[in-house]
């Protein structure tokens, strides 16, 4: 019979191999082989840095196998402008002909990406356009950002000799095109038929077969690039809405853990959230080892603060963690906004927990001394000479303010209330606290 340890090793190796498999990008042939290859890449959901890494890898894979055409099958509402601009650079850089196959919609940053492809092919009833640039609060971006975006849209249209006024109308609502339902105050969104009319669509097709026929690649081998689990996870984690949630859960979990006995669910949730954040940003190509090193140093400094009081070490730890997050940021302003949300959540939670539990729970109980040394509990630091109060005597040395006086033939070290008393002066004991005997001149 095989040993239990051998079976455990087999199970472990199987799990590792399975994990590696699901983390790998998936490429599937969906048609019989021929000399020509058409490489299909899905462009779906929000445009963000995770999608950019996936597309960049897909283009390199297509170049490696010598694809005849890369078809970006698009159904996206748009997304981050900086990510879209990085993706557009990848599209323009490759020597392989590219086709934007709009299968439903290419809006906002999606329309911009479509304009950077060599050809645009749309299915009936699909749309492209509505590409205004907005900030993270949903409001129109500033004039500087708008000017940059207008120039990008114009240049992308001119790249393949398309009339730039339609690209500008997609981004600038001041352009008047009422014949296409985009009068002043409205952004242009083209239907497939309208796009064909103005030269923004090269062809309208209903199926992939019709698309391949138009491209002159009928019978070509179709290779379908699919996102791996890691790609999908990275895209989810780097989403602008998910980032502040992860950071808030991470900070909240660690704060609650301070008030919990041992290391439990809150701490696990907090660390898991932070690990997911950095894992997703590393897969997306945003975070490097410098971010990981900084966050580890930051956590270590915060833990050290509990044993080396003063505040400086803890502050350095917090700054180190914030720096690690900024290094991993796709967009600095959005990351700052996310950090502020997490800090606000942490402050609110800390105030609530402190009012509810004080410092008598969790880790505080192990690092803070709560036993008081009061006389009620029998603790006496020095003998208290309360019997001396009221006695009168003579100073035998100047009191500046400490000195010596004689009371009933007993030499006693005394202090004044703060003033100076010369020797051979009559004094009276007015207070006795442990070894401290206070006198006043009479």
Helices 265-283 and 229-237: crossing angle in degrees, nearest 10, is 110
* Average pLDDT score over the chain: 82
Please state which of the ranges 163-172, 195-204, 216-225, 329-338 shows the lowest mean pLDDT: 329-338
Please tell me the predicted confidence (pLDDT) of residue 262. Answer: 53
Higher pLDDT: 94 or 82? It is: 94
374 pLDDT band, cuts 50/70/90, is low
Angle made by CA atoms 284, 227, 58, in degrees to the nearest 5? 75
- In this structure, whether the domain defined by 26-227 belongs to CATH 3.90.226.10 is answered with yes
Which among 381, 393, 435, 440 has a CA at the least distance from the CA of 413? Answer: 435
Which among 14, 41, 13 has a CA at the least distance from the CA of 25? Answer: 41
d(CA 222, CA 30): 6
> Is pLDDT of 139 > 90?
no
pTM to 2 decimal places: 0.60
According to CATH, the superfamily of the domain at 381-441 is Nucleic acid-binding proteins (2.40.50.140)
> Is pLDDT of 79 > 70?
yes
- C-alpha Rg value of the chain to the nearest Å: 37
> Is pLDDT of 379 > 60?
no
1 pLDDT band, cuts 50/70/90, is very low
Tell me whether domains 26-227 and 381-441 share a fold.
no
Higher pLDDT: 49 or 259? It is: 49
Q: Are 135 and 68 in contact (CB under 8 A)?
A: no
Spell out the residues 6+ positions from residue 61 whose beta carbon is closer than 8 angstroms to its own.
Answer: 25, 27, 39, 225
Please tell me the predicted confidence (pLDDT) of residue 137. Answer: 55
Spell out the residues 6+ positions from residue 177 whose beta carbon is closer than 8 angstroms to its own.
Answer: 165, 166, 169, 183, 188
For residues 254-269, average pLDDT:
68
What are the residue ranges spanned by the domains of the chain? 26-227, 232-287+328-367, 381-441
Instruction: Report the 10 Å Cβ neighbour count for 340.
Output: 12
Which among 77, 45, 104, 59 has a CA at the least distance from the CA of 236? Answer: 45
Q: Are 80 and 131 in contact (CB under 8 A)?
A: no
Q: How many whole angstroms from its chain centre is CA 334?
A: 9
């Amino acid at each position: 019979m095989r040993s239990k340890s051998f079976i455990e090793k087999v199970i472990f190796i199987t799990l590792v191999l399975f994990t590696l498999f699901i983390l790998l990008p998936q490429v599937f042939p969906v048609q019989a082989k021929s000399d020509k290859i058409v490489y299909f890449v899905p462009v779906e959901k929000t445009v963000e840095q995770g999608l950019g890494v996936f597309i960049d890898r897909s283009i390199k894979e297509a170049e490696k196998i010598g694809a005849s055409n890369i078809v970006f099958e698009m159904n996206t509402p748009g997304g981050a402008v900086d990510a879209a601009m990085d993706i557009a650079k990848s599209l323009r850089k490759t020597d392989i002909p590219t086709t934007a196959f709009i299968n439903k919609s290419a809006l906002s940053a999606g329309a911009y990406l479509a304009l950077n492809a060599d050809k645009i092919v749309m299915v009936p009833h699909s749309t492209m356009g509505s590409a205004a640039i907005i900030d993270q609060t949903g409001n129109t971006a500033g004039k500087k950002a708008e000017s940059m975006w207008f120039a990008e849209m114009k240049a992308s249209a001119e790249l393949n000799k398309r009339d730039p006024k339609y690209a500008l109308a997609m981004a600038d609502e001041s352009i008047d095109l009422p014949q296409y339902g985009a009068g002043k105050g409205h952004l242009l969104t083209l239907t497939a038929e309208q796009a064909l009319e103005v030269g923004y669509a090269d062809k309208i097709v209903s199926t992939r077969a019709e698309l391949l026929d138009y491209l002159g690649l009928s019978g070509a081998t179709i290779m379908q690039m699919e996102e791996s689990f890691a790609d999908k996870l990275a895209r989810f984690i780097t989403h602008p809405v998910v980032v502040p949630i992860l950071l808030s859960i991470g900070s909240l979990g660690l704060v609650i853990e301070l008030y919990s006995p041992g290391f439990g669910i809150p701490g696990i949730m907090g660390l898991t959230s932070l690990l997911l954040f950095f894992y997703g940003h590393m897969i997306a190509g945003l975070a490097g080892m410098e971010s990981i090193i900084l966050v580890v140093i930051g956590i270590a400094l915060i833990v050290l603060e509990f044993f080396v009081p003063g505040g400086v070490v803890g502050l350095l730890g917090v700054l180190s963690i914030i720096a690690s997050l900024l290094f991993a940021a796709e967009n600095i302003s959005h990351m700052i906004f996310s950090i502020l949300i997490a800090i606000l959540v942490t402050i609110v939670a800390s105030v609530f927990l402190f009012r509810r539990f004080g410092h008598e729970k969790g880790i505080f109980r192990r690092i803070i001394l709560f036993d008081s040394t009061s006389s009620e509990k029998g603790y006496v630091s020095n003998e208290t000479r309360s019997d001396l109060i009221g006695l009168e005597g003579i100073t035998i040395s100047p009191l500046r303010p400490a000195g010596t006086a004689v009371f009933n033939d007993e030499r006693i070290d005394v202090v004044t209330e703060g003033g100076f008393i010369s020797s051979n002066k009559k004094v009276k004991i007015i207070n006795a606290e442990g070894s401290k005997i206070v006198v006043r001149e009479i």
